[in-house]
Each structure stands twice: as structure tokens, then as C-alpha cells.
Amino acid sequence: EIKSINGYPAPNIISIFLDNLTSDGANQTRKYQVINMQFNDLYHILIDDSESFVVTYTDPRETVVKEATLPGIAVSKIRDLNLTLSSLGVYLDWKALKNDISKEINSNYALLNARSFLVNSKDFQRVTDEFFEEVADKQIPNIIIDLRGNWGGPPKSSVLLYSYLIQEPEKYFTKDAPFFYYQYKKAIKPAENNYHGNVYILIDGTCFSTTGHLVSLLKSHKLGTFIGEETGGSFLCSGNARSSTLKNTGLRLYCSVDSYEVEAVGLTPGRGVMPDYQVRPSLTDYLSGNDSVKQFALELIDKK
């Protein structure tokens, strides 16, 4: 456990990060996800730009506080060259995100990893169609939809996935959504192989933008059991951002000019979608590679 860096207590560092990160309303889970991904950038910008770092820490197996002096490393040497800064304020591997969909079929459950809606829409539809067709053919009683790590993307793939989970025509966007999404203001019809079994949805603080929309609709219509942590986004989000530089200060103002709201009801404004079962990976889970959120879903399935 890190106690301090260059004399700054760890709780103070996290507090400064939280105060300087944006979120939808009072949500905190998205902020922590950004901190996990961008700690070095946030520390450099908001705390300290020293060339070396005195770190005090404790070993989990001991109680004594130790100290280490670590040299700074250039960003170019530690950041994956495939990562680029997104409008979400985090560095993402766009190439990987465009291929991040996969499926796993078992006798008692099937898993659809939908970690990005930035996947080419034709590829997303092919994998999703194949998934639900196989699930229907084999009459699999349980499915898990893993949306963790899905920051969002265009609504086309989200609408497709939604169509496989609804039982009757349902609207997606409200009538006030931007005109270019007119086709999604009409009722979405259930897909040919729409699913009628038990649905388990894995969520976390990165579920934002379009993913927040989808999860909000599924939660509103009670179309699954939600496992994980509060989502970073919900039924309302902004977009079509504009960037301006203020003349006197030189500060850059980055501000959205459109809002997108879906036809979800019964959710708390200013908060993400809450899980039915809150499951947060422990330090042991991270170190061992154990997926405790997925494991919890499998345990629920076994109890059926």
C-alpha cells in the first residue's frame, strides 16, 4: 500500500484527483476508473512534476513503513504507442476497441463480451447475430452480457443488442434527441431470435455514453440482473462537444452542445445505474487474475 509520494499523503492525492475530474452528476465510479487508467498523467498535472519520487509504502505481509526513491520515466517510454487521448479524457487503444467483441458458448450459459460499441457495425452485428442464433438453437437458459470497460460509441450496435433483449417494441431515444437519430425515436422491434431466458449484465464505472443509455433501458424495463458497480453514465448524456480557447487566460473550454436522453423511467437523476449485486474486485483478485464479477454471475446461475 502506497502511503505517500514526495511527501503528499495518498488520501490527499486521490482527493485532489476526484475534485478535478468530471462526472455525470454525483457519480464517483467513473472518476475512479479514470484514476486507475490515468494516474501518472493526473499526478504530473495536478500534484507534482518532479524528476524523481520518494515513495513510502507498506508490504501487505508486514506493518513497517518502507521508503524507496524512484526515477521518473518519460511518457514515451511507458505509454503504449497505440493509445491516443479521447474526448472522454482517457487514453484508449482505438484499434483494439474496434475488434473488442467475442462470445463464449457453454451448455448452461453463454457469454457475450461487448466491451466496445466502436466495433465496426457489420462485425458487431455478425457476432451478435451468431451468438443469439446459437443460443436459440441450443436453448441455453442463461446468458451473460459483459459491458465492463465499454465507454460507449455510436448507438447503432447498442440498439441491435437491445433488440435481442426486449420482448415487445420499445422506444430508444426520446423525441427531443437530435434529428439525425430520428430512426431511433421510433419503437425498436424485437429481433428474430430475441432472448427469453435469464439475463445477467456485468457493469462498472466505465459504462458511459451509449453504454449508459443501454444499461438504463435494460434496468428500466427489468430486462436483466445487474452485477458489478454503479455505471459511469445513465439515461441522459451530452455530446457534440465544441472546443474554444478563452482570449484572456488562454484556457481551453470544452463544452457539449447537444443532449441525448433515452426512454428510461424510475432511475435516479445525477447517478449511474445501480447494480442489483454490488461486486468489486479485491486486491487479491487483481493480483491473481480472478474475475470475481463474472464468478458471482456464474454462482447465481448455479443456484437456479
CB atoms < 10 A from the CB of 277, how many?
A: 14
- Mean pLDDT per block of 10 residues along the chain (304 residues) reads 96 97 92 92 92 93 91 80 66 70 95 92 95 98 97 94 97 89 92 97 97 98 98 90 89 85 94 97 91 98 91
**Beta partners for 114?**
101
Per-residue pLDDT at 134: 98
Per-residue pLDDT at 241: 79
DSSP string, the chain: -EEEETTEEHHHHHHHHHHHS--STT--HHHHHHHHHHHHHHHHHHT---SEEEEEEE-TT--SEEEEEEE---HHHHS-TTEEE-TTSSEEEHHHHTT-EEEEE-SS-EEEEE--S-S-HHHHHHHHHHHHHHHHHHT-SEEEEE-TT-----HHHHHHHHHHH-SS-EE-B-TTS-GGGGGGTSEEPPPTT---SEEEEEE-TT--THHHHHHHHHHHTT-SEEEES--S--SEEEEEEEEEE-TTT-PEEEEEEEEEEBS--S--TTS-PPPSEE----HHHHHHT--HHHHHHHHHHHH-
| Alpha-carbon span 214 to 234, nearest angstrom | 8
Q: Can you list the domains of the chain with their CATH numbers?
A: 2-79 (no CATH), 93-303 (3.90.226.10)
| Alpha-carbon span 201 to 158, nearest angstrom | 14
Per-residue pLDDT at 82: 63
Per-residue pLDDT at 69: 97
Q: Residue holding cell 442464433?
A: 133
Residue 103 in grid coordinates: 462470445
pTM value? 0.91
